[in-house]
Structure 1
Amino acid sequence: MGLTSALTTSLNGLALNEQTIDVLGNNIANAGTNGFKSSSVLFQTQLSRTLSVGSRPSADNGGTNPRQIGLGATSTAIIKDFSQGSITNSTSPSDLAIQGDGFFIVEGNNGVMYTRAGNFNLSSEDTLVSLDGLRVQGYGVDQDFNLITTQLEDITIPLGDLVIAQQTRNVQIGGALLSTADAATQGSLLQTQVSLSSAASSTFAADPATNATLLTSLYVEGDATPLFAEGDELTFTPRKGGRVLEPQTLTVSATTSLSELMTLMDQTMGIHSGGTVPQEGGVDPQVRLNAAGQIEVVGNRGTVNDLSISLGDLVISSGSGNTTVNLPFLKQQSADGHSAITDFIVYDSLGQSVNVKLTTYLESQDSTSTTFRYFLESFDDSDADIVVGDGTFTFDSEGKISGGGIQQFSIDRNDTAAISPMQITIDFSKMSGISTSAGGSAMTLNSQDGSSPGSLSRFVIDETGVINGIFDNGIIRTLGQIVLARFSNPQGLLENGGTNYIEGVSSGTPFLVTPGNFGAGSIRAGSVELSNTDIGRNLVDLIVASTNYRGNARVIDSVQRLVDELLLLGR
């Protein structure tokens, strides 16, 4: 019985050490495998053969100890070491390493798997995949680039294919305005040198023209020929502050009235009125028909807003060519007041550029403050009226903005597919009310947050797994977020090849978390986690296992010799 059990015990020892050597060999073979987790074999004794259970002490005897002979060892478990492996830098921004206990979630034809190996790249379909083609899972984004955290999906990074623009929402103006200059006192005043009537060869007194008079029935006082005919195309090109304005056109129909012509002129010249805009002689700035039957233009204050209309600025285009309308204007007064002007570009939601002109003039000043009025105009506004905003801002006695620093204006884009209207905040708070008299006033665009269209050129992944796309126009947008899985018992996971694991019966269900939460760990982009195999330790363990194997083999050899001796007794 003794020799037989010794033989069986040694055979078990051989098998166990073979298993240990097998595990150690796998560890050493995967010492260069990224994300690999090494294993170790745990032994425990088997049942023992009890020869005696021992005896209690008595008056005559001190007692005896149990006598047992062990029946060898058995493998109790093969333990996976999920401790952190070393992290090293790589050359790819899509390579990821986890500093913590989480697992990447990947999906393929065989379902969902989990891995620590973060060697990822972009597929031909712009999805983030592992080296064996499994798709990395995480949170996607909606059309406004907000994370959708209700479900997992493939991480997609469409480099070169995703094109976006950014609408301007904020504009900041800088510069310095001369607070010690002359304040404005008047705007432009122009009148036609002739009165208008509504009948041929008549006078204004007899047949006065009104706002409702049709253009085909509009005459210069005493003239027998109407100024306009049905089908005429009127083009109006005035000047403002010495600069030629964008021309506007009006086609004369049988129902076109004088009021429509004056509206065209008003909108083309960008005359600001209403609110707190100063009146001229009790009249709001506008184009109107005065009591004498003359077209009267009342403009805004500030030298940069001074209006001029020359003979030839209003022409008729017809089949016979261009004809100057016989409506000469006489300037009764010029606009005054220290002024400044600047042009800048903003962008609509499609990335189309929109030109804006900003003018200011010194409106008033007292012992403690100086107030400037500003006007905003845009020929890219979809309305015929180029006026898009106006208001005032005030400097204190130290030249700092004390009121009206932040204001809003809007630009209509109804003639495009862009979002309309554009709502823009304009910030004057960085302007100064101190300027040298030699330098005068100057305004500049400090910044605006819009951009023209740009394509996705690169991406970065932060420690929380958020993927930020960087476009070649400078825009940065969130493209998604890597999600990690945690298990209550990672030892229960089943290896599924390719350094991937699947959920096991004892692993527990995965707990999905974003990096940086609940111990899952943070993400380190441009890095990979190396194998956690300790080569030195495994080689030492290999020596021990080999020695143990030889020891068990020697026991078998000894048993064999003893059996041979027994066989010799029968001869």
Structure 2
Amino acid sequence: MSINSALLAGVSGLAANSAALSAISQNIANVNTIGYKRTQGEFQTMVNAQSFGTGYSAGGVMAATRNFISQAGQLQRTNSSTDLGISGSGFFVVTERSEGLEPTDTRLFTRAGAFRVDQMGYLKNTAGLYLQGWPVDSEGNLNTDPSDLNRLRSINVGTVGGTAEATTRVQLNANLRSSQAVSAEALAAAAIPPGANAYDPATNSMAMWDAETGTGVRPDFELTIPVSDSKGGQRTLAVSFLKSDVPNQWYAEIRAIPEDDVVTGAGLTNGQLRSGIIAFTQDGRLDVPAMQALGADALFDDPQNASLTFGASNGGAPGAGEFRWADGLGIDNQTVSFDLNASAGGLTQYDSASVVQATLTNGTAFGNLTEIQIDDEGYVTAIFDNGVVRRIAQVALATFPSPDSLTAVNGNAYRVTQGSGTFNLKAPGSGGAGFIGASQLEASTVDLSTEFTGLITTQRAYSASSKIITTADEMLEELLRIKR
């Protein structure tokens, strides 16, 4: 009966507009929810099968909810370095548990990046979901896989303790006065046979110099180098220079201060680590070919690859010309490279005062964690008060072929569906994934003016559908009166 179908069509209109009102209400309620994606009720007609000659039967309308998940919201600046927004495509991978994750545990996806450090040091958002990323191993490498969620771990910044870095490189910028007078010890060393009190690195060296007793040979110039060991302890190396009677050549010794910081092998005394000749060109620069020609007599036979190798404290007895750290220090082996011929300086011999312009080293003493920073490529970096910067992990972003088909769950997160397609894990800024915006949060995509307009039209449509029902009711009442 046509009046009956009109009545049912009106009921379907009421139901459809009620569903649309629910979507609008959800949007308005979440206007300030971080990373919220608006939904919208969309209508589609329902058509009944029509039989010729029997009149028209109204089908009505049905409402379906459409999610605008792929619509990006504006990024807004915050004061927290762990607030994260995504500029572009992708979702944070999050879990409901921080530790002991199994392959069967639920992985969710969200754009809500208001993360905070919890009591265990994990990054957790306001919905209680833990941020996942690829951890950086001890060698600074990442083990990534675009399809394996099991390689992700909950990012923990609370386990990062103090750190230190051993010195591996030293750059010396210093000048030796070319007009320095040749000492009596250096002249005696050049005599044949050597004269009394002649300089000798084994029996009468600069390392033996004692101003109070007058023993040893006083250096013409000396500089010290601070060195950090494997535990962040501070060690000191001294480089002593003595002008030779040969033009443009100097005797040089490198030793440890104090001498009991090292254990040395045969040929080294009083904390000596190395001794030999340094040669300069006539224009005052380091003469690399001349030192290479000197071979074993040079301080370093190849100044371009100059280095000292310290054995570990628990190493055996050092061989001739070798050395290691003292037993009581309990530190690891260490190789320190010397840059003596830097383009910006290095060792020079000009006719001006002997002076140290700079001693540059890359080691650091022990330092404590002061700050956590996250860059636009998702690298989570720990910064220490000794200047050390160390990467902890990289935030992973998941992309989908059809993100609008994801299913929404509590906590402003989403779950994979058949319609969304399989996820792909990507590093931020690569493969179509967006960049990370640190100290930023993505605002809700709700536009209140649009929602209030929708409220008006939905209310009017609901009222119109109710009129269908009242009109059909009146027509049925007229039909019933015919019998009277």
Task: Normalising by structure 2, report the TM-score.
Answer: 0.80
Q: In the aligned structure 2, how far is the partner of 1:296 from the partner of 1:179?
A: 24
2:437 to 524, 536, 539: 524
Residues 280 and 349 in structure 2, CA contact (< 8 A), matched pair in contact too: no
Please tell me whether residue 281 in structure 1 is matched to residue 192 in structure 2.
Answer: yes
Residues 133 and 155 in structure 2, CA contact (< 8 A), matched pair in contact too: yes
Residues 493 and 501 in structure 1, CA contact (< 8 A), matched pair in contact too: yes
Cross-structure match for 2:400: 487
Cross-structure match for 1:361: 242
1:399 to 284, 290, 299: 284
Check 1:6–1:308 CA distance in 2 against 1; reply closer, same or farther (3 A cut). closer
Check 1:7–1:562 CA distance in 2 against 1; reply closer, same or farther (3 A cut). same
Residues 348 and 422 in structure 1, CA contact (< 8 A), matched pair in contact too: no
Please tell me whether residue 305 in structure 1 is matched to residue 217 in structure 2.
Answer: no
Cross-structure match for 1:254: none
Check 1:497–1:445 CA distance in 2 against 1; reply closer, same or farther (3 A cut). same
Mapping of 1:498-513 within 5 angstroms?
Answer: 498-513=411-426
Cross-structure match for 1:340: 221
- Measured against aligned partners, the alpha-carbon deviations of 1:202-244 in whole angstroms (never above 9, x if no partner) come to xxxxxxxxxxxxxxxxxxxxxxxxxxxxxxxxxxxxxxxxxxx
Cross-structure match for 2:177: 178
SS in structure 1 at match of 2:380: strand
Cross-structure match for 2:233: 352
Mapping of 1:450-465 within 5 angstroms?
Answer: 450-465=363-378
SS in structure 2 at match of 1:564: helix
Q: In the aligned structure 2, how far is the partner of 1:515 from the partner of 1:364?
A: 64
- Measured against aligned partners, the alpha-carbon deviations of 1:37-95 in whole angstroms (never above 9, x if no partner) come to 11112222222554769xxxxxxxxxxxxx97752222355333421111111111111
Letter in structure 1 aligned against 2:230: S
Q: Which moved more, 1:101-110 or 1:115-124?
A: 101-110
Q: In the aligned structure 1, how far is the partner of 2:209 from the partner of 2:409?
A: 83
Q: In the aligned structure 2, how far is the partner of 1:90 from the partner of 1:380?
A: 54
SS in structure 2 at match of 1:299: coil
Cross-structure match for 1:431: 346
Cross-structure match for 1:36: 36
Cross-structure match for 1:244: none
Check 1:182–1:23 CA distance in 2 against 1; reply closer, same or farther (3 A cut). same
Check 1:147–1:361 CA distance in 2 against 1; reply closer, same or farther (3 A cut). farther
Deviation at 1:126, TM superposition (A): 1.2
Mapping of 1:44-443 within 5 angstroms?
Answer: 44-47=44-47, 50=50, 71-109=59-97, 111-149=106-144, 151-158=151-158, 162-182=161-181, 187=186, 281=192, 299-300=200-201, 305=206, 339-363=220-244, 370-378=248-256, 379=259, 381-384=261-264, 385=269, 386-401=271-286, 403=288, 404=303, 407-411=306-310, 412-415=324-327, 416-429=329-342, 430-431=345-346, 433=348, 435=350, 437=352, 440-443=353-356
SS in structure 1 at match of 2:394: strand
Deviation at 1:463, TM superposition (A): 0.6
Residues 201 and 275 in structure 2, CA contact (< 8 A), matched pair in contact too: no
Q: In the aligned structure 2, how far is the partner of 1:92 from the partner of 1:530?
A: 16
Check 1:19–1:86 CA distance in 2 against 1; reply closer, same or farther (3 A cut). same
1:558 to 467, 471, 482: 471
Q: As a proportion of its length, which structure holds more strand?
A: 1
Q: In the aligned structure 2, how far is the partner of 1:536 from the partner of 1:372?
A: 83
Residues 5 and 57 in structure 2, CA contact (< 8 A), matched pair in contact too: no
SS in structure 2 at match of 1:27: helix
Check 1:398–1:550 CA distance in 2 against 1; reply closer, same or farther (3 A cut). farther
Deviation at 1:542, TM superposition (A): 1.8
Q: In the aligned structure 1, how far is the partner of 2:193 from the partner of 2:332?
A: 39
Q: How many positions carry a matched residue from both structures? A: 433
Check 1:364–1:9 CA distance in 2 against 1; reply closer, same or farther (3 A cut). farther
Q: In the aligned structure 2, how far is the partner of 1:78 from the partner of 1:279?
A: 94
Q: In the aligned structure 2, how far is the partner of 1:6 from the partner of 1:474?
A: 77
Deviation at 1:436, TM superposition (A): 5.1
Q: In the aligned structure 2, how far is the partner of 1:546 from the partner of 1:425?
A: 81
Residues 43 and 75 in structure 1, CA contact (< 8 A), matched pair in contact too: yes
Deviation at 1:428, TM superposition (A): 4.3
Q: In the aligned structure 2, how far is the partner of 1:483 from the partner of 1:306?
A: 56
Residues 414 and 421 in structure 1, CA contact (< 8 A), matched pair in contact too: no
Q: In the aligned structure 2, how far is the partner of 1:279 from the partner of 1:478?
A: 55
Check 1:493–1:393 CA distance in 2 against 1; reply closer, same or farther (3 A cut). farther
Q: In the aligned structure 1, how far is the partner of 2:445 from the partner of 2:244?
A: 75
Q: In the aligned structure 1, how far is the partner of 2:237 from the partner of 2:61?
A: 87
Q: In the aligned structure 2, how far is the partner of 1:511 from the partner of 1:347?
A: 44
Cross-structure match for 1:466: 379
Deviation at 1:445, TM superposition (A): 4.1
Q: Please, which runs of 5 or more residues in structure 1 have no aligned partner?
A: 54-66, 190-277, 286-294, 314-328
- Measured against aligned partners, the alpha-carbon deviations of 1:344-365 in whole angstroms (never above 9, x if no partner) come to 2101111111111111234477
Residues 199 and 217 in structure 2, CA contact (< 8 A), matched pair in contact too: no
Deviation at 1:102, TM superposition (A): 0.9
Check 1:10–1:113 CA distance in 2 against 1; reply closer, same or farther (3 A cut). same
Q: Please, which runs of 5 or more residues in structure 2 have no aligned partner?
A: 98-104, 146-150, 289-302, 311-323
Letter in structure 2 aligned against 1:305: M
Check 1:81–1:147 CA distance in 2 against 1; reply closer, same or farther (3 A cut). closer
Letter in structure 2 aligned against 1:170: R
SS in structure 2 at match of 1:562: helix
Deviation at 1:513, TM superposition (A): 1.1
Cross-structure match for 1:289: none
Residues 106 and 136 in structure 1, CA contact (< 8 A), matched pair in contact too: yes
Deviation at 1:167, TM superposition (A): 0.3
Check 1:363–1:148 CA distance in 2 against 1; reply closer, same or farther (3 A cut). farther
| Matched-pair identity in % | 24
Check 1:504–1:540 CA distance in 2 against 1; reply closer, same or farther (3 A cut). same
Q: In the aligned structure 1, how far is the partner of 2:208 from the partner of 2:112?
A: 72
Letter in structure 2 aligned against 1:147: L
- Measured against aligned partners, the alpha-carbon deviations of 1:141-163 in whole angstroms (never above 9, x if no partner) come to 2234433436211111127x601
Query: RMSD over aligned Cα, in angstroms?
Result: 3.4
